[in-house]
């Protein structure tokens, strides 16, 4: 079971990393719907090339870490580090799904923007799913 979950999680992180690399290279597909906006549709921040690539590399690293935690890939990591690392990933994504109570997460105040609707429908549930699958993977492993 952990093998299947870890492969699913890896594919999710691989896709997310790829889309961030795409945006970093100037891609525009879906770019207007993935940045939190204020009520007047002004973006809260404007990520550039470097920020997109850092996030993409981080997401790719998390995906590889998950494969390592399941024993599919081998990096010289201690079992303790792998276990706490997976718990950290789960907590980060649970916190992301809850949000910061203004622009992001299930409990955000600004909901009636393109990002707000997509966050409620797709992004926060995906983060919750990642958190749940990671916990299942840790407990089953």
Q: Alpha carbon of 112 to those of 82, 100, 121: distances in Å?
A: 39, 16, 12
Helix (H) and strand (E) counts in the chain: 5, 0
pLDDT per position as a tens digit, 26-79: 999 988 899 999 878 889 999 999 999 999 999 999 999 999 988 888 888 787
pLDDT per position as a tens digit, 86-133: 999 999 999 999 999 999 999 999 999 999 999 999 999 999 999 999
The reported pTM is 0.94
């Amino acid at each position: 079971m952990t093998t299947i979950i870890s492969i699913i999680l890896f594919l999710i992180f691989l896709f997310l990393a790829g889309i961030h690399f795409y945006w970093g290279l100037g891609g525009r597909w879906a770019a207007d719907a993935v940045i939190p906006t204020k009520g007047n549709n002004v973006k809260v921040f404007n990520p550039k090339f470097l920020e997109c690539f850092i996030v993409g590399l981080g997401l790719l690293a998390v995906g590889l870490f998950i494969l390592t935690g399941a024993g599919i890939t081998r990096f010289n990591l201690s079992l303790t580090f792998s276990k706490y690392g997976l718990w950290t990933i789960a907590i980060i994504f649970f916190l992301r799904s809850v949000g910061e109570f203004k622009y992001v997460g299930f409990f955000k105040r600004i909901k009636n923007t393109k990002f707000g609707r997509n966050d409620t429908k797709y992004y926060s549930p995906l983060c919750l799913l990642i958190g749940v699958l990671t916990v299942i993977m840790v407990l089953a492993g």
